[in-house]
Amino acid sequence: MSKHLLKALPELEEQGILSEEVARNIRNYYQSQTENRPNRLFAIFGIFGALLVGLGFILIIGHNWDSFSTTSKLIISFIPLIIGQGAVFYALKKHPDSQAWKESSGTFLFFAVGGTLSLISQIYNLSGPPSDFVFYWLLLTLPLMYLLPSSMVALFYLIGTTYLGINWMDYHGSLYWPYWIMLLAFLPHYFLQQNGQHSKNFRMFNHFLLPISISILVFTTLGNLDPTSFTYQVLAIAVMLGIFQGFGAGKWLSSTPKGRNGYFILSTLGISILLILNTFKFFWEETSNSDRAYFFHEMFFSFPGYILIAAITMYAIISIRNYKGGHNKSETLLHMFLPMFVVILLVGLYLPMVALVASNLLVLLLGLASIREGVQKENFAILNYGLLLLAALVTCRFFDSQISFVWRGITFLLLGIGFFVANYIMFKRINSQKSIHEI
Q: How confident is the model at residue 124 (pLDDT cuts 50, 70, 90)?
A: confident
364 and 307 assigned to the same domain: yes
User: Which of the pair, 123 or 332, is modelled with greater confidence?
Assistant: 123
Q: How confident is the model at residue 29 (pLDDT cuts 50, 70, 90)?
A: low
User: Which of the pair, 84 or 4, is modelled with greater confidence?
Assistant: 84
Q: How far apart are CA 415 and CA 291, in angstroms?
A: 40
**Top mean-pLDDT range of 2-11, 292-301, 360-369:** 360-369
426 and 278 assigned to the same domain: no
Please report, rounded to a whole number, the percentage of residues in the chain having pLDDT higher than 70. 72
307 and 385 assigned to the same domain: yes
- Whether residue 163 is contained in a domain is answered as no
Whether residue 229 is predicted with pLDDT greater than 50 in this model: the reply is: yes
pLDDT at 48 (0 to 100): 67
In this prediction, residues 338-359 reach a mean pLDDT of 87
- Whether residue 126 is contained in a domain is answered as no
Decide if 289 contacts 253 (C-beta within 8 A). no
Whether residue 405 is predicted with pLDDT greater than 60 in this model: the reply is: yes
Q: Report pLDDT digits (tens) over 59-74.
A: 666 656 666 777 887 8
Whether residue 32 is predicted with pLDDT greater than 70 in this model: the reply is: no
Among the ranges given (279-283, 336-340, 346-350, 435-439), the one the predictor scored with the smallest mean pLDDT: 435-439
Model pTM score: 0.76
379 and 241 assigned to the same domain: yes
Q: Report pLDDT digits (tens) over 174-212.
A: 555 778 888 899 988 888 877 655 567 777 888 888 999
- Whether residue 233 is contained in a domain is answered as yes
pLDDT at 353 (0 to 100): 87
Among the ranges given (125-134, 168-177, 355-364), the one the predictor scored with the smallest mean pLDDT: 168-177
369 and 421 assigned to the same domain: no
275 and 347 assigned to the same domain: yes
Decide if 258 contacts 330 (C-beta within 8 A). no
* End-to-end CA separation in angstroms for the chain: 23
pLDDT at 305 (0 to 100): 79
Q: How confident is the model at residue 18 (pLDDT cuts 50, 70, 90)?
A: low
- Whether residue 241 is contained in a domain is answered as yes
- Whether residue 93 is contained in a domain is answered as no
Q: Report pLDDT digits (tens) over 236-293.
A: 889 999 899 888 887 777 777 777 788 888 988 998 899 898 888 888 887 776 667 7
Decide if 157 contacts 187 (C-beta within 8 A). no
Q: How confident is the model at residue 157 (pLDDT cuts 50, 70, 90)?
A: very high
In this prediction, residues 217-236 reach a mean pLDDT of 76
Decide if 216 contacts 166 (C-beta within 8 A). yes
Q: Which of 14, 119, 20, 31 is nearest to 68 (CA)?
A: 119
CA angle at 133 for the pair 127 and 136, rounded to the nearest 5°:
130
Whether residue 369 is predicted with pLDDT greater than 80 in this model: the reply is: yes
Q: Report pLDDT digits (tens) over 293-331.
A: 767 777 777 777 788 888 888 888 888 887 776 655 554
Cα 323 to Cα 99, 249, 331, 382, distances in angstroms: 38, 10, 13, 21
Phi first, then psi, for residue 83 (nearest 5°) are -60, -45
Phi first, then psi, for residue 148 (nearest 5°) are -80, -55
Q: How far apart are CA 90 and CA 104, in angstroms?
A: 12
Whether residue 117 is predicted with pLDDT greater than 50 in this model: the reply is: yes
356 and 422 assigned to the same domain: no
422 and 325 assigned to the same domain: no
**Top mean-pLDDT range of 38-42, 118-122, 289-293:** 118-122
Q: Which residue among 389, 410, 426 closes a domain?
A: 389
Whether residue 45 is predicted with pLDDT greater than 70 in this model: the reply is: no
Decide if 234 contacts 223 (C-beta within 8 A). no
Decide if 248 contacts 315 (C-beta within 8 A). no
CB-based burial of residue 344 (10 Å sphere; 0-12 exposed, 13-18 middle, 19+ buried)? buried
Q: Structural domain tally of the chain?
A: 2
User: What is the residue-wise DSSP string for 32-76?
Assistant: HHHHHHHHHHHHHHHHHHHHHHHHHHHHHHHHTGGGS-HHHHHHH
407 and 375 assigned to the same domain: no
- Whether residue 181 is contained in a domain is answered as no
Residues 6+ apart with CB under 8 A from 49: 104
- Whether residue 77 is contained in a domain is answered as no
pLDDT at 206 (0 to 100): 83
266 and 380 assigned to the same domain: yes
pLDDT at 385 (0 to 100): 86
Q: Name the residue range of residue 346's domain.
A: 225-389
Whether residue 141 is predicted with pLDDT greater than 60 in this model: the reply is: yes
pLDDT at 138 (0 to 100): 92
Q: Which of 254, 217, 250, 253 is nearest to 236 (CA)?
A: 217
- Whether residue 216 is contained in a domain is answered as no
270 and 346 assigned to the same domain: yes
282 and 310 assigned to the same domain: yes
pLDDT at 158 (0 to 100): 92
